[in-house]
Structure 1
Amino acid sequence: MIIRPITPGDLDALVQIATESGPGFTSLMPDRDALSRKIDHSVDSFARTVTKPGDEHYLFVLEDSTTGDIMGTTGIEAAAGVSRPLVHFRRNAVIHHAGDRQKRHTEESLIRCQHYTGCTEVCSLYLRPGFRRANAGKLLSRVRFLFMALHPERFGDTVIAEMRGVSDRSGQSPFWDWLKHQVADLDFLSATQLACCGQSGFIEEFIPAKPLYTRQMTSEAREVIGQVHEDTRPARHMLEREGFRHRGFVDLLDGGPTLECPRQDIASVRDTFLTRAVFRKGEKDPASNAGELFNSAIVANASCSEFRASVTDQVWPAPDTNNLVVQDQLAKLLNLDEGSLACYMPLSQTGQQSQEHQQPRQKPATEEIRYAY
């Protein structure tokens, strides 16, 4: 499995992914022309020289290196809400007084807001059902944070993730089924298409700025506020292990939660290390102690436009150095030369590792190569 930047040749696969992912997957809608423009924008974003985040959007694909099949996608929006509004509902506790301090009561409201303007957003993560295998989901999710560690100047200080809300097999959202009767009698697919295509005035015209009180909702709509689609639960759990938390902001259309974390506090950003690649032919010697420090890792070159990453158990720290031993065949897949910069993120460590036998701790990538490329 190889992660790489998307190219125009991946358009057919991206259309297929957008179609099979369903209407709730709002970051990729099944519109061929729009997806073609998204690919072009991504190619341009990877090629830019950047000193601070702008309207860049980085879209990666996961490719089966044996067959060439596109297994899934993952993406990063450098500064969300800048080129078009990023609007959420904020959950608020409202205290009502009835003239007597002892008779006050609290109820919840939802208020439209633009809280996350300029934050970096991780998005477009989708692993196709036919390609679900060990470490594929981890690679799609965590490689984005490795890329942020390599190129911190391209991203904001806060990273967010808008999680897909609850919807049924036909794509109907309980939250929108109630909300549409208050705002606009549009089906969920039509509403998401208007919102995702950046139709001018859609939010201002249809989504009220005044508070919406949850006591007025149906029980079905109220129960899904801040909840995720069943297919999204693993992604949410993975992000929470990275340090992401829900702070009360939810999607306007399906009520799904937005999670956030300071970029420097994301576990995978902290655990990404920069080093030099040294080659070795063949596989790791099972009798050697050199590879017992971690079983598997995400390994990548240090490029931007030519970025390549994979997950493997065929790399390990070179004894008595800070170099990373990389198997020859993997090095070719990752476009690594002998002695070139590489980075790695251990996915797990063996039970044999002890406090006295720690792997060499290179400086995190964020400390070493901020403007190196």
Structure 2
Amino acid sequence: MIIRPIAHRDLPALQQIAVESGPGFTSLIDDHDFLVNKIQHSIDSFARDVATPGQESYLFVLEDEATGDFMGTTGIEASVGLSSPLYHYHLSRVVHHSRELNLFSSVEVLNMCNHYTGCTEICTLYLRPKFRRAYAGKLLSKVRFLFMALHPQRFADTVIAEMRGVSNDADESPFWDWLREHFVNLDFATVTQLSGAGNKGFIAELMPKYPLYTNLLSHDARAVIGEVHQHTKPALAMLEKEGFRHKGYVDLFDGGPTVEAERDQILSVASSVSCRIQAIAHDTAVLNRGPVSGRGDVLAIANTRTTGFRATVTDQAVYLPEHNVLQVPAELAKTLELDEGASARFIRLAAANTASQPVSHDQQGLALPPQKEFRYAL
């Protein structure tokens, strides 16, 4: 499987993902013109010479090389909230105290805000259910950090991720159900589609402008504030391992948490390794796994390009730290469009010791141990 920038030929598959992912997936909506414009904007962003982050949007595709199947997507918004407001609720606590009556109460409130304006957002991560396999979801998530490590000038110092909140199989959100009853008589699918398409005027016009005391909300609405969709839990856990933290900001529509981290302190950014490539014939002895440190580790590897960006996962690469050289099979170097001596960057996804686990293989015969994967996260 290979990660590459999206192209116009991917439109039918992208539209299918917009249908599969459902209304809560606001970064992709089932609208032909919207998706065409999103693809073109991504193509333009990859091609742009960038010194500081602006309104660039980078959308990547996970492709099965053997079949050409479109397995999933993942993306980065370089700087959010510049052309269209990025609204959140901030969950905080206020204290009411009467000294005369000796009464004291502490209550939670939700305040609407635009706290994350100008931040970079990782988004649009969706792995199609029929393509769930070892390391597919992890590659979709971590490739964004490889790209940030390669091109830090394209991204803001703070990186956020809006996690999908709780909704049921009928695409109904308990949090939105309460807001709908009292303020905005639109169903959840409609408001998420409007917001995803950038039509956010109704938020300023109809949503409550004053603090919402959470004890006035229904029990079901309160219970999901800051909680994630069941399919998003593995993605949230992965981001938490990268150093992302929830600081009280939640989505306006489903109450899902937004998590944040400093770009250069994200684990995969900080621990990624810049190296030179040495292409080795597949049957060369140095590529045989053995007790040497680093051999057999599962690595995510990327070239250093923008428009020609390519990344994949393999356990057949060997890093020689004393020479800062990554030895890879010649076929893999060709897939990544890496010439002999070219620069690359990699991160380790898993250690080499997999003997006790069942082993699956990809289309190139590379052994990949299974692990729990996820479908989507915003």
Q: 1:111 to 1:50 in 2, by over 3 A?
A: same
Question: C-alpha separation between the residues in 2 aligned to 1:10 and 1:277?
Answer: 30
2:57 paired with 1:89: no
Q: 1:290–1:317: 8 Å Cα contact kept in structure 2?
A: no
Quick one: structure 1 residues 323 and 96, their matched pair in 2 at CA, closer, same or farther if it must change by over 3 Å?
same
* Residue type of the alignment partner of 1:296: V
Matches of 1:345 and 1:323, distance apart in 2: 14
Distance, in Å, in 1 between the alignment partners of 2:167 and 2:108 is 22
Aligned residue runs from structure 1 range 210-359, under 5 A: 210-282=210-282, 285-286=287-288, 288-290=290-292, 292-293=294-295, 295-318=297-320, 320-350=322-352
Q: 1:20-99 maps to which residues of 2 (within 5 A)?
A: 20-99=20-99
Q: TM-score, normalised by structure 1?
A: 0.91
- Note closer, same or farther for the CA distance 1:250–1:244 as it changes in structure 2 (3 Å cut): same
Change (3 A) 1:95 1:16: same
Q: Distance in 1 between matches of 2:293 and 2:305?
A: 26
Supply the distance in 1 between the matched residues of 2:275 and 2:120 (Cα, whole angstroms): 26
Cα 1:341–1:112 shift into 2, 3 Å:
same
For structure 2, the 5+ residue unaligned runs are 355-378
Equivalent residue number for residue 142 of structure 2: 142
- Residues 72-118 of structure 1: per-residue CA shift (max 9 Å, x gap): 00000000111210010001101112344741110111010000000
Report if aligned partners of 1:302, 1:343 keep a CA contact under 8 Å in 2.
yes
- Structure 1: segments with no counterpart, 5+ residues: 353-373
Aligned equivalents of 1:320, 1:213: Cα separation in 2: 59
Write the distance in 2 (CA, Å) between the matches of 1:101 and 1:53.
54
Alignment match, 1:3: 3
Point out the more displaced range, 198-207 or 94-103: 94-103
Say if 1:290 and 1:319, in contact at 8 Å, map to a contact too. Answer: no
* CA deviation map 1:225-276 (0-9, x unaligned): 0000001001000000000000000000000000000001100001111111
Contact 1:158 1:260 in 2 (8 A): yes
Quick one: higher RCO (CA 8 Å, sep 6+), 1 or 2?
A: 2
Aligned residues: CA RMSD: 1.6
Residue 161 of structure 2 corresponds to: 161
* Partner secondary structure for residue 181 of structure 2: coil
Alignment-mate amino acid for residue 80 of structure 2:
A
The DSSP-based 3-state class of the residue aligned with 1:228 is: coil
Equivalenced residue count is 352
**Structure 1 residues 40-89: Cα deviation after superposition (integer angstroms, max 9, x where no partner):** 00000000000000000000000001101010000000001112100100
Amino acid at match of 2:162: E
**Among the aligned pairs, what percent are the same residue?**
55
**Structure-2-length-normalised TM-score:** 0.90
